[in-house]
Amino acid sequence: MPPRTRKPAQPSAAGQTPKSPKPEPTPLSKLLSLPEIEDIRGALLRWYRHGHRDMPWRKLGDPYAIWVSEIMLQQTRVDTVRAYFQRFMQRFPTIAALAAAPADAVLASWSGLGYYARARNLQAAAADIVAQYGGEFPRDPQAVRALPGIGPYTAGAILSIAFGQQAALLDGNVIRVLARLRALSESPDSAEGKRLYWALSAALVPPPAAAAADADQSGAPGDLRRNDPGDFNQALMELGATVCLPQRPICLICPLRLDCLAHKRGDVESFPRKKAARPAPVVNVVTLVLRCAEQVLLLKRPAAGLWGGLWEPATLPMQPEEAAEAALLRLGRERLGLELGLWPAQALAPFVHVLSHREMHFVPLLIDWPDATLPAGLRLAGYDDAQLVDLRLPQALGLSAWVMTLLRRVAAVPSKESERHQTSPTP
């Protein structure tokens, strides 16, 4: 009788071997003790109140101003936001003024700031606040989170900074501080990581009632109006933006360095764990500047989608290996209902506009239109409106950064009419 042999292990299903189980997420109780929480709160509040960056919205204490600033600060640097914030608040000083403003006026005030859905949502939320709350920003957390464009981070910022509520927030700066503070191996992009980071942030935010006690302990005059939740959240963001930097963090002056596990390991820049970067897809786009004397033809994009509601020269994605001249003719037929081969087109310098999720490679062409009116037979496809805009005053409309750059270039190119005047003999 032949010897019995052991059968090989069978694959689990469809010929696949069983996957190893995922590591369990770190329990919050293992990350922070109550004494550690108190130490971190005290150290960070003392550091922040001793001195922080001067920002215009911090001086106002107005929920509307704080809301506008937090929306602008999403994906945008503080230095860029300062000037935009002041101009925006001068033009729309109240929630009611913002709700009643023309959409083009709001987008024009946002031009160059990017992520234009923020401006559209801001105005939509202002209209809801006027309709439902008489123009007063709501204090109820559920009501705040229900407003257009307000997610968990923005809600936490407004509720804590404007109203002193014990509400957590989480942005890129805060994630970096928390990941290093506890040397978290969880990726902030994973479902488990998101839950852990939010739980950690919520555990650290002090309650409002702690304000007077902490003020006495620090030796500062007692002030019942002191906003511990708001100050703490701003301190977390301030620390990430000025000290706990992505590269070359300034650990020597960090108020949390004694509590920071990544610092103790000497491996600060390894946290948070980074996901593999994916190359952004490249989109080649032909764009036509149709110039009529000192005016250019601009078209309004649909409200939904990329650059929604903004104005731009006619654009069309190019097909693979398509030449610019062929793409221009196709643009004329498909976007404008015009045969553009009848007029000479001048090629302008191509340029690249980088978005968070794609690279736009623009191939601009310029045609000097012989008339001073909109072309007869113009039939728009993919756009909601058209108008001729003075090249010297395009800021009255909402324009993206790439459009403003392109129009400045066009303004420096002499028109055929001006060349004729320059070369014609004087009588």
DSSP state at residue 61 = -
Are 111 and 395 within 8 A, CB to CB? yes
How far is 36 from 22, CA to CA, in rounded Å? 29
Average pLDDT over residues 184-191: 92
The phi and psi torsions of 406 (rounded to 5 degrees) equal: -65, -40
In total, the chain counts a number of residues equal to 427
Q: Quick one: tokens of 193?
A: 């990581």
More confident residue, 381 or 13: 381
More confident residue, 216 or 156: 156
Average pLDDT over residues 44-66: 90
Are 345 and 365 within 8 A, CB to CB? yes
Sorted by where each starts, the structural domains of the chain and their CATH numbers stand as 28-270 (1.10.340.30), 282-416 (3.90.79.10)
DSSP state at residue 32 = -
Percent of the chain residues topping a pLDDT of 90: 72
Average pLDDT over residues 357-371: 93
pLDDT of 419 reads: 53
Q: Which residues pair with 387 in a beta bridge?
A: 298
pLDDT-derived band at 25, boundaries 50, 70, 90: low
More confident residue, 201 or 3: 201
Report the chain's mean pLDDT, rounded to a whole number.
Answer: 87
pLDDT of 23 reads: 53
Q: Catalytic: which of 70, 186, 238, 312?
A: 70
Q: pLDDT by residue (tens digit) across 246-262?
A: 999 999 999 999 999 99
Omega within 30 of 0 (cis) for the link into 272: yes
pLDDT over threshold 90, residue 54 = no
pLDDT-derived band at 425, boundaries 50, 70, 90: very low
If one counts every other C-beta atom within 10 angstroms of the C-beta of residue 212, the result is: 15
Question: Residue 70 catalytic?
Answer: yes
pLDDT-derived band at 418, boundaries 50, 70, 90: low
pLDDT-derived band at 58, boundaries 50, 70, 90: confident
pLDDT over threshold 50, residue 139 = yes
pLDDT of 75 reads: 86
Percent of the chain residues topping a pLDDT of 70: 86
How far is 237 from 241, CA to CA, in rounded Å? 6
pLDDT of 293 reads: 83
Name the strand (E) or helix (H) holding 57: helix 56-60
Q: Quick one: tokens of 227?
A: 């906003």
pTM, rounded to two decimals: 0.81
pLDDT of 12 reads: 45
How far is 274 from 255, CA to CA, in rounded Å? 25
Average pLDDT over residues 74-90: 93
pLDDT of 286 reads: 98
Segment 318-324 long-range contacts (CB within 8 Å, at least 24 positions apart): 318/284, 318/285, 318/286, 318/363, 322/284, 324/286, 324/363, 324/365
pLDDT of 225 reads: 57
Q: Is the dihedral of CA 328, 329, 330, 333 positive or negative?
A: positive
pLDDT over threshold 70, residue 211 = no
pLDDT of 351 reads: 96
Q: pLDDT by residue (tens digit) across 377-404?
A: 899 999 999 999 998 776 678 999 999 9
pLDDT-derived band at 28, boundaries 50, 70, 90: confident
How far is 214 from 200, CA to CA, in rounded Å? 21
pLDDT over threshold 60, residue 215 = no
pLDDT of 26 reads: 66
pLDDT over threshold 90, residue 346 = yes
pLDDT over threshold 70, residue 427 = no
How far is 26 from 200, CA to CA, in rounded Å? 11
